[in-house]
Amino acid sequence: MMVVDGNGIPLAAHICSAQPAEVKLALTVIDKIHVGTATKPQTRAKKLVADRGYDAKWLREELRKRSMQPKIPYKRRRDQVHARKMTIQLKEDYGKRWKVERTFAWLGNYRRLLVRWEHHLSIYTAFFTFACILICLGRF
């Protein structure tokens, strides 16, 4: 699981087995995020854009407690009027989510990450970190 900024640069990641749902691991990754500049340090991002798999009331509440605005579409239509309002509000931010998918595609260029050859988590994490460093260097 990984969080990226608006340019597709990895900000935080958490590597885990495939068994737990990603929504349950979201807060562990979100707590690792530290953004800002040297003159204006900021510890949290202002908003989080995620797909429908992260639609959980408890997650939205936790994001608001952390002063982050959740931009997550609902899984099911609760109310037609509410769903239309949400769709209009999400269009601008959710339309930029392709940058996240692009970052995952960049990670897919590294064969050791695409097919998990490594059995030890520490070795896989090292290759993952190295790939993220190469992505960051390529973007600057």
Q: Tell me the pLDDT tens digit for each residue of 5-37.
A: 888 888 888 888 778 888 888 888 888 887 766
Count: domains in the chain: 1
Residue 2's beta-bridge partner residues?
A: 13
Is the pTM here over 0.85, yes or no?
no
Report the distance separating Cα 29 and Cα 31, nearest Å: 5
Whether 88 shows a pLDDT value over 60: the answer reads no
Token couple for 18: 């495939």
Token couple for 51: 């797909």
What is the overall mean pLDDT for the chain? 81
**Closest alpha carbon to 47 in 81, 70, 18, 64:** 70
Structural domain range at position 46: 2-139
Confidence band, pLDDT 50/70/90 cuts, at residue 131: very high
